[in-house]
Every structure is written in structure tokens, then in C-alpha cells.
Chains A and B, each alone.
Chain A
């Protein structure tokens, strides 16, 4: 579904090479995590696939469409490390923001808020929510229309560990219900292993796709999986790959 061919990114100012010769293909509904050293270009990669920034080389197609056309058709959705909620809008108004632009509602915003455990918070303002709840609102907002690809850029990076574990479980559950293709950038190897079908390992700058590691634990995955030996073995192997 997502085809990436020989993708490269060079910043003209200072001629910094961020990404070089990255190719892969991803099937519909796959959950892909991207890990790599800090500053290697993980965010740049997903922003290029999602057509927020332009590539310098190579091509991205989504169901045969160029990335730009796919974006214009409302096929992409982003969640960033900051929830980026608009403080003058209530929770519900934040969640319906994309519908005002894309006008292609696929899910009832209230139901989505329910799924993310935010029932009863519709009329609150972002300032009244905790960090974890804000990120849940951002997730709900990302799914109100019917995006085909969900890009998440360290979405739980600023959330404390307990909340993070709960958010991961919720994300896995909702992803299974919805069947959206996910690109998930993270610094946490165990988070990547727990959530993903495949983990993409990027090298240090200029980033190449160093390795693709399939994760075949059955779903739905329970929290206890993280304590098992096979899980720990994969985490350890990935840590070694990152160097």
C-alpha cells in the first residue's frame, strides 16, 4: 500500500544529508515502528511520506497515488509529541477540527472520545486536562475522518511511564478495531516491539534503512508479554543493532 523507493533528503543549507536511499513497502493495516539514534531523521522520514516536507530524491506512493495527491485526498493523519490542541477550543471542538477542513467524517467524534476513555470531558478545555489525556484527545482527533495512514511522531514521549503503558494498550486495541496503517516513531525499543508488526531500524545520519525486524507475537498482545523471554530477547537484539 505504501511504496517508498530510493528516498533521499538533503537540506540545501549546509548540504546536510538527512536520509539516503531508503526503500520499503508496507501493507495495508500494518503497524510499523521506526527506531534509530537521536536526530537521525526518523521524523523527517515520516513527514516526507506524509508530504509535510518534500524529498530530494526518490518517490512515495500510497495505493498508486503520489504522496501529495494522497494528502490532498485526506488520507494522512499526524500525531506529534506535543498534542497541539487549540487552547480556545473544547475537547470536542478540537476533535472535530479536521472535519471542518476535510469534511469527510467517518466516525462519531463522541464515540471516539468514548473509545479513548474521554467520555464526560467533551466540554473541558485542554488546559484542564493532564498530559496523557491531551494526547488521547490528539489521537481521537487524528481518527475522526478516515485516514488511511496514521503517522505518529513520538506521541508518548512526554507522557509518564504508567500512562504510557495504558496508552500503548489503548492504541493497540483501537488500531486493531480501525485497521489503519501506522508509522510510529519512538525512542522506546520495548514500545516499538510491543506495538509493531515490523520495526524499521535507521542508522545514524545520513540515515539508511539498516534493518527490518518482523515481530510475530500474536494479537491482541497483553501487557505481560513484555516480561516474557522472547520479548526481552528481541528488545536486546534491537538495542544491539542500534549500537
Chain B
């Protein structure tokens, strides 16, 4: 139907008339990319100019070109440490997310469990997690594990809250329908509650993906020999500020990719949900 009417639409117009809307359409779709890129370029130019004009100290505030140079010079180690941090973040994200989801399932199915444990989940949320980072390093060593645990703790709460909501927010008539088939709780969970919760789960996963990176870097600051947090720590110790900036830029880009991956999965998996 659509392609038919499109063809008719095209044949009814002259070539010149067609060309204009096509340009407009491509500008519209690219606009959200082009505008921020142009803004970034302008900001970097202004930054570079300010650096030269006011003779800013590169240890305090390096120029973009110096940062770029540091990035190129240390490319291999920046990539390796970013990889370590992202690995910790992803594993922590999975550990925290899965644990939170299982807790949510238990909460939704047992009022007793929810009454007993939910207050502590809220308490966990209110605890500044940076405060327990030294304990985690003490317990789990200064390798990957302490960062994964740290990262999972930060990712845990948003996933828990949204999963509880999503598992419980099932249409009453859908439950009546399942009851009329004499469905078991397990069947209701797998056929109704679980798919229904996905629409609530993914927004939380997007938040958790960013939080997980923060958690991993905090863990690395506290005690580690690897990761972007460690690289930032050591390079700031040696007053290599351009490298600090380059490391920050790299992990922030990694975080954006991680977020983008989760957002892409959301579109693929929760395809029925309107944006």
C-alpha cells in the first residue's frame, strides 16, 4: 500500500520539485548530529584560543591540541585501561541488574520478603557508596572483583525499583484471563509479568549502564592497579593533566557506547513499546 502510493506521489511531481523535499528530509534527519558537532568544534576552537590568549598553564588547563597529542601518544594504554574499566562496568551491570531483577520477582510474589527486605534496599540506595568502597577493596582485593561488586551495587537500585513496578503493573484483565485458563504463577510470570516488565526494565538499565561505569571508576580510585581510574590517579600524580583529560574523554566515550548499546537493545527487544 505504502510503496504504491509513494510511487504515485513521485510520478505526479516534476524532478525539480522532488529534489527539494529530499534535501530538506536529509537535513532534518542529520540535524540532530550536525548541530552538536558544530557546537563542539566551536567550543574547542574557543578553548584553544583562550588557552593561547590568556597563556593558561597546561598543568591546570591543557589545550585541546595537547590533549589530542596525549591521546595519540598514549593510545594503546588508554584503550587498554578503558577496556578494563568497561569490562568491570559491564560485568557489574550484569551482576547488579540480574540480582535486582531476581529480588524484584521475589518481592512481587511474596509480601513477606518485600516487607522484610525493601527497607534495606532503600537504605542501600541512601548510602553514599563511595563510603563503602574501601571496605570492598579490603574484602575483594584490588583486582577486578571489588570494582565489579562496586559497580553492581550502584546499578542495583534503579533496576530493582523499575522491575518491581513493571512486574506488578500488569493489566487486571490479563490476570483474570490467565486465571480463567487456571494458569500457574510460573506461567503468569513467564507469559505476562516478565515481558510486561521489559518496558519498565530498559529505562532503568540505561540509567544503570551509566551508573555502573561511575561505580567501577570509584572502585579504581580507591585501590587498583588497572583501569581508567588508576590511569587518572597516576597521571594526575605526575601532573600529566593532558593525559587525565584524554583518559576522561576516552571513558566518557566508552560510557556513551555502553549506553547506546543498551538503548539499541531496548529498541530491538521492547519493539512493541511506542517511543
- Chain A residues near B (Cβ < 8 Å): 47, 50, 52, 71-72, 74, 76-78, 80, 82, 84, 86-88, 97-98, 100-102, 125-127, 151
- Cα A76 to Cα B178 in complex, Å, equals 11
- Does A127 lie within 8 Å of B176, measured CB to CB? no
- Does B180 lie within 8 Å of A71, measured CB to CB? yes
- Cα A190 to Cα B179 in complex, Å, equals 31
Shortest CB-to-CB span from B242 to chain A, Å, is 49
- Cα A76 to Cα B180 in complex, Å, equals 6
Contact of B174 among A47, A84, A102, A151 (CB under 8 A): A84
User: B183 in the interface, Cβ–Cβ < 8 Å?
Assistant: yes
Contact of B180 among A77, A86, A126 (CB under 8 A): A77
Q: Is the interface of A mostly helix, strand, loop or mixed?
A: mixed
User: B185 in the interface, Cβ–Cβ < 8 Å?
Assistant: no
Task: Please tell me the size bucket of the interface on B.
Answer: 20 to 34
List the B side residues contacting A80 at CB < 8 Å.
173, 176-177
* Nearest chain B residue, comparing its CB with the CB of A47: B176
Shortest CB-to-CB span from B184 to chain A, Å, is 8
* Nearest chain A residue, comparing its CB with the CB of B274: A127
Shortest CB-to-CB span from B237 to chain A, Å, is 52
Contact of A88 among B174, B176, B181, B195 (CB under 8 A): B195
* Nearest chain B residue, comparing its CB with the CB of A71: B182
- Does A88 lie within 8 Å of B272, measured CB to CB? yes
- Chain B residues near A (Cβ < 8 Å): 171, 173-174, 176-183, 187, 191-192, 195, 198, 271-274
Q: Is the interface of B mostly helix, strand, loop or mixed?
A: helix
List the A side residues contacting B179 at CB < 8 Å.
52, 71
- Does B180 lie within 8 Å of A87, measured CB to CB? no
A84-B174, A86-B191, A88-B198 are known; give 10 further A-B pairs, CB within 8 A. Answer: A52-B179, A72-B182, A77-B180, A78-B176, A82-B173, A84-B173, A86-B192, A87-B273, A102-B181, A126-B272
- Does A101 lie within 8 Å of B177, measured CB to CB? no
**Given A47-B176, A80-B177, A101 and B171 contact (CB-CB distance below 8 Å):** no
- Cα A47 to Cα B174 in complex, Å, equals 14
Q: Would you give 25 A-B contacts (Cβ < 8 Å), ordered by A? A: A47-B176, A50-B180, A52-B180, A71-B180, A74-B181, A78-B180, A80-B173, A80-B176, A82-B171, A82-B173, A84-B171, A84-B177, A86-B191, A86-B192, A87-B273, A88-B195, A88-B198, A88-B271, A97-B191, A101-B178, A101-B181, A102-B181, A126-B272, A127-B274, A151-B180
